[in-house]
Amino acid sequence: MTALKKKIKIVKNIKINVDKCNGCRACEVICSASHAAPKYSSNNPARARIRVIREPLSDIYVPVFAGEYTAAECAGRDKYIIDGKEYEECAFCRASCPSRDIFREPDSDLPLKCDMCESDPTLEEPLCVSWCLADALIYEEREEEVEEQAAPEEVDADLEALANRHGWDKVADAVQRMKKKA
């Protein structure tokens, strides 16, 4: 039987309030600048891991974070009408996909994905959140208990501790007994 142990994982999340977004694109600017090489050496929103779908005449502004890469376009599309506003196809989709030119690095065409501004030292909150003066982006963290497989060296150390207490023969007997019951 595989040794599993409980671990607390931090789940990071950015809540988007489209009603508060005014389409200023400050989030795109800071994201692209902070991911430039070297850092802050250039600024090109086409390189941002967040893009704002903007239709000012319809008062539509949708910040979308770059998600997973997909090699194939989807065969069917959805259209959303929310509070009387009709959003374009793919408006809420996070995929870096061949059917549109966002979330792809302009020079290399490589897919882009939001990394939640992971850095060392860790930031208090992602940069796009700090730069959004309209409070359209709200950063949240929650703890989740997950089961993960113990590393082999951890299992060895645990067994050794048991053997020191009870002796290897008793530990081996107990393992055999438990294996039969499993």
Which residues contact ligand SF4 by CB under 6 A? Answer: 21-27, 31, 49-50, 52, 61, 63, 65, 114-117, 126-128, 131-132, 134, 136-137
| Least distance CB 123 / ligand SF4 (angstroms) | 9
Nearer to ligand SF4, 26 or 162 (CB): 26
Count, residues in the chain: 182
CB of 91 to ligand SF4, least distance (A): 14
Smallest gap from residue 81 Cβ to ligand SF4 (A):
21
**What's the burial of 29, exposed, middle or buried (CB within 10 Å: 0-12/13-18/19+)?**
middle
| Closer residue to ligand SF4, CB minimum distance, 60 or 132 | 132
Rounded to an integer, what distance in angstroms lies between the CA atom of residue 24 and that of residue 137?
13
Q: CB of residue 25 vs ligand SF4: minimum separation in angstroms?
A: 5
Token pair for 62: 């949708």
For ligand SF4, the closer of residues 61 and 87 by Cβ is: 61
Distance CA 146, CA 25 (A): 36
3-state secondary structure 121-181: CCCCCCHHHHHCCCCCEEEEEEEEEEEEECCHHHHHHHHHHHHHHHCHHHHHHHHHHHHHH
Residues whose CB is less than 8 angstroms from the CB of residue 77 and which lie 6 or more positions away in sequence, other chains included: 89, 90
Closer residue to ligand SF4 in complex, CB, 90/128: 128
- CA-CA distance, 120 to 141, in Å (whole number)? 18
Smallest gap from residue 8 Cβ to ligand SF4 (A): 22
Q: Which is nearer to ligand SF4, 17 or 99 (CB)?
A: 17
Beta carbon nearer to ligand SF4, 135 or 154: 135
Instruction: Provide the minimum distance between the beta carbon of 111 and ligand SF4 in the complex, in angstroms, as a whole number.
Output: 14
